[in-house]
Structure 1
Amino acid sequence: MKKILIVETNVTRYQGTKDPTGLWLGEAAEFVDEMNKAKIAVDYVSPKGGFVPLDPRSMKYTDESIMAVYESPDFVHRALTNTLRPNEVNPDDYVAIYYTGGHGVMWDFPNNDELQHLALAIYDQGGYVTSVCHGIAGLLNIKDDQGKYLIAGKTVTGFTHAEEIIAGKQSVVPFLNQKVAEERGASFSKKRAYSEYAVKDGRLLTGQNPFSVRAVAKLLLKEIQ
């Protein structure tokens, strides 16, 4: 059975501040909704396993489909309370890995070796590495067996510098995804701030912002169905 591994953050606050952050709910829930409709199974992993906090601001951007996923006992149990630890995951079970966003990922995605190994294993067996918004932070430091960045020479997208300024978090985040992606040799593609946009380059599928979740999911479904 085809399965997708969804990666979520454990970070509860913008580091160095008292302000809460966490998973951007829609970036998991909308993706799950699309997979549910396609009858594709998903599992959830986080750097530490267990509890995943929600960015409280993301609750302002919900609709009935997001709330239906959020209110489901399965999502509460597996996506928010009891996520898997990376060492509990067998990459052979998955055709794709999907990195969700929310600002928290900026601190616990980029340098997690275990997640990088999982993503590369899935990719090397012909699977897909995908992300949306800040989730691209999880792709930035993945290197192949030759030590080359996975995104080098690839067209990708993610939360842009302009969108970070609009969000008012430029001075708080530890780095800018767009800047680092370009430093890694990627071609960073983007559209107007906060408009839906997803891009495919081989088996890398990335979305620009929270409004691009379903676009990423649909790109992936075209590939695996």
Structure 2
Amino acid sequence: MKPHGECCGGASHHHEPEETGVSYSLYAKINKDHLQCLNEAVEGTGKNVFKPWEERFNFEVFVESDADEELLFNIPFVGNVKLKAIKVIGEDSDTHPSKMRLFKNRPSMTFDDTSAQADQEFELVKDISGSAEYNTKVVTFNSVNHLTLHFPSNFGAETTKIYYIGLKGEFTEAHHHGVTICTYEARPMMKDHKNPLEEITQARLGQ
């Protein structure tokens, strides 16, 4: 029995795992190869906190900030997402992030860019069980191909530690029909017009 898996007062915590696990499946739609985590103490650890619901209590996998308490995630998706909610699991300590800021479709953000107004902000509670759910403004986040999460502060520690970030929503495949049509139109046009022109030119030269 793991103490961090026990209910901590959330009324819906005892009946949510299976249903919640399905709805928090957007981690599988993240382009992990291009996900960035800025100010991570160990390179490559930031992407690992986006994991299956059933692995949310694997506290051996986490990301910790380096120079100060800030963390910033640039999260590209492989299609379009309607983002509905977010969960953040940390420690029951001052290393838990205390605020989360969301930016929609702003690839490659850095800390210098975070002075801009966020599309939505949340004051976080210390959550070691995944019982707290932060609902997004669906009208704002109904067509997201890139999400930036900025954690600017924690509850007073020098560094911030996160074990799990869950993304809830709906996914739509990206469409590439325009590229396909252009490819098929361009090739026959080149082929169709090249030979007749050459024939006309050769015919004139032969006169």
**TM more than 0.5:** no
- Bigger proportion of residues as strand: 2
Larger radius of gyration: 2
* Structure with more contact order per residue of length (Cα contacts < 8 Å, sep ≥ 6): 2
Give me the TM-score of the superposition, normalised by structure 1: 0.29
Give me the TM-score of the superposition, normalised by structure 2: 0.31
- Bigger proportion of residues as helix: 1
